[in-house]
Amino acid sequence: MAVSIADIQKLRKMTGAGLADCKKALTETEGDIEKAIEIIREKGQAIAAKRSDRETSNGCVLVKVGDQFAAIVALKCETDFVANGKDYIQLTQDILDAAVAAKANSLDEVKELTLADGTKVQDAVTARSGITGEKMELDGYNFLEGGNISAYDHMGKHMLCTMVQTNKPAEEQAHTLAMQVAAMNPVALDEASVPQEVKDSEMKVAIEKTKEEQIEKAVQAALRKAGFNLYIAENEEHIAEGILKGNITDAQADEIRKIKTETAAQKSANLPAQMVENIANGRMAKFFKDSCLLNQEFIQDSKLSVSDYLKTSDKELTVIAFKRFTLRAE
Rounded CA gap, 316 and 157, in Å? Answer: 34
124 and 241 in a single domain? The answer is no
Find the domain containing 42 and state its range. Answer: 5-50
Give residue 16's region: left, alpha or beta (phi > 0; psi -120 to 50): left
Backbone angles phi, psi at 117, to 5 degrees: -85, 5
10 and 72 in a single domain? The answer is no
252 and 142 in a single domain? The answer is no
The count of structural domains within the chain is 3
Is residue 294 in a domain? no
76 and 166 in a single domain? The answer is yes
151 and 200 in a single domain? The answer is no
25 and 84 in a single domain? The answer is no
Is residue 213 in a domain? yes
68 and 158 in a single domain? The answer is yes
32 and 99 in a single domain? The answer is no
87 and 184 in a single domain? The answer is yes
> Looking at residue 23, which CATH number applies to its domain?
1.10.8.10
The set of residues, in sequence order, having a beta carbon less than 8 Å from that of 71 and lying 6+ positions away, is 63, 64, 96, 99, 100, 104, 141, 142, 143, 144
Is residue 313 in a domain? no
Model pLDDT, residue 276: 95
Is residue 270 in a domain? yes
Is residue 314 in a domain? no
254 and 275 in a single domain? The answer is yes
Query: Whole-model pTM above 0.85?
Result: no
107 and 70 in a single domain? The answer is yes
Per-residue pLDDT of the chain (330 residues; tens, 9 = 90+): 577 888 778 777 766 666 777 788 788 887 887 887 777 766 665 555 555 566 778 999 999 999 999 999 999 998 988 899 999 999 999 999 999 999 999 999 999 999 988 889 988 888 888 777 788 889 899 999 999 999 999 999 999 999 999 999 999 999 999 999 999 999 999 999 999 999 999 999 999 999 999 999 999 999 999 999 999 999 999 999 999 999 999 999 999 999 999 999 999 999 999 999 999 999 999 999 999 999 999 999 999 999 999 999 999 999 999 999 999 876
103 and 124 in a single domain? The answer is yes
